[in-house]
A = this chain, B = another copy of it.
Amino acid sequence: MHFTITATDPTSRARCATLELAHGAVETPVFMPCGSIGVVKACDAFDVDALGIEMIVANAYHLWLRPGLDVLREFGGVHKFMAWPRPVLTDSGGFQVFSLAKPGSITEDGVKFRSHIDGTEKLLTAELSLEIQNAIGSDIAMMFDECAPYPSTHEYVDQSVEMTLRWGRRSKAAHKNPDQALFGIIQGGIFPDLRDKSAQGTLDIGFDGYALGGLSVGEQRGDMLMAIETTEPLLPWDRPRYVMGVGTPLDIVDCVMRGIDIFDCVLPTRNARHGKLMTWQGTVKINNAGFATDHAPLDESCDCHTCRNYSRAYLHHLFRIKEAVGWRLLSLHNLRFYAVLMRRIKDAIRTGALPALRAELGPWSVRDEA
C-alpha cells in the first residue's frame, strides 16, 4: 500500500491523496458502498463500476457464512467471485456479531453468537477474522475490535478499549498477507480520555491506516465530530484515515474537513430501497402521490442511467408495485449521487471551495437523510 497526498485545503484539515492498493489506485476522499455479502444490493459489478465507484466494502461475517471460506478460496477471493476488479475493504465482522451475541458472550477470547442463517453457535476471534479476510482477499483488512454500544458507561468503554488493543495486537500477529493492508481501529466512545488512550495504544501497535470506530451509532452529531477532532491530530498525516459507517453527505464533508479520507455507509443503497432519493435540492420520496404523472427525471442535473432515461412517474410506479428493477434504478441514482459528491469534494479541496460546497448541502437537514 502506498498513500501519496496530492492536495491540501488551506482552510481545513482536508486533503486529496492517491491510495495504491493491490487491485489498483483509489483517489481519496473516497466513499465505499456496502457490498457486504459480495454484492452491492440490487446492482451488479458492471453497474457499480459504470457509476464511477472506485472501492466497495465487504463484510467478513456475512461472507464467512455465505458463500463460505471454501468458495472464496476456490475463487482466490471475492474480487473474481463477484467480477469486481477494483479495491475492496473488509470489515472484521465484529460489528455484526455483537448484535447477535447474548450478554456475557463477549470474552477475551472472542465473541460467541448464533448464526442468523441457521442458528448454529459460532465463535469469532481476531485470528479467525483475519483468516476470513485473507480468504476474501480484500485490499484492506480491518483489525478485530469491540464496538461498544451507545450509550455505555466510562468503565465499560475503558475495559472495551483495553481488550480491543489486545485484539489489535492479535490481529496484527495473525495478518500474514503482504498484498493486503491492515488498518487499526480506534474506539473509546464519546469519552475524550478513552479516545486518546485507544489512539495511543493503536498507534503503538502500528498499522497501515487508522479507522475511527464506534461513531455514527446513535450519539449526537456534535459528539461524533468532537471525537474526530480529538483523535485526528494524534494520527500520522501520511497514513489514510477512515471513519466507519459515515454517513450523510453533510457528515462526509464535515469529516473530510477534519482530515478523514475514507467513508462507508448503507445510506445510498438502503435509502434507495426505501424510495428515498438524494438530489442536490434535498431528499425526494418517490412514493409521493404527486409524482404519479411527473414527466421530469428524479434530478435534472444528474447523469445517471435512471435520470437520463426514466421519469419520476415511472420510478414511482415501479416502487409502488415493489418491482426489483425499481430498487436497482433507484440505487443507481443514489450511488451516482455519492460518486459525484466525492468528485466534487476532491475538486473543492483542490480549488479551496470546500466551504462553498458545504453551504450547498444546506437544504439537507441531518434528519432528512437518515
Q: A320 to chain B: which residues have CB within 8 Å? A: 66-67
Query: How big is the A interface, by class?
Result: 35 or more
Measured CB to CB, the closest approach of chain B to A344, in angstroms, equals: 27
Q: Given A37-B323, A323-B37, A328-B325: A317 and B83 within 8 A (CB)? A: no
CA of A320 to CA of B67, assembled, Å: 9
Bound: A318/B328 CA distance, A: 15
How distant is A85 from chain B, measured CB to nearest CB, in Å?
11
Secondary structure of the A contact surface, majority rule: helix
Complex Cα gap A71–B46 (Å) = 33
Cβ contact within 8 Å between B74 and A44: no
Report copies per complex.
Answer: 2
Interface residues as binary, A297-335 with B (CB distance below 8 Å gives 1, 0 otherwise): 000000001000111011011101101110111000000
**Most B Cβ at <10 Å: residue of A39, A83, A314:** A314
One of B42, B67, B81, B313 near A67 (C-beta < 8 A): B313
Query: Does residue A43 face the partner (Cβ distance < 8 Å to B)?
Result: yes
Return 19 A-B CB contacts under 8 Å, by A number: A39-B318, A39-B323, A41-B324, A42-B325, A44-B310, A44-B325, A46-B305, A46-B309, A47-B325, A66-B321, A67-B292, A68-B292, A70-B292, A71-B313, A75-B293, A75-B295, A75-B311, A83-B314, A324-B328
> For the complex, what is the distance from the CA of A310 to the CA of B311, rounded to whole Å?
31
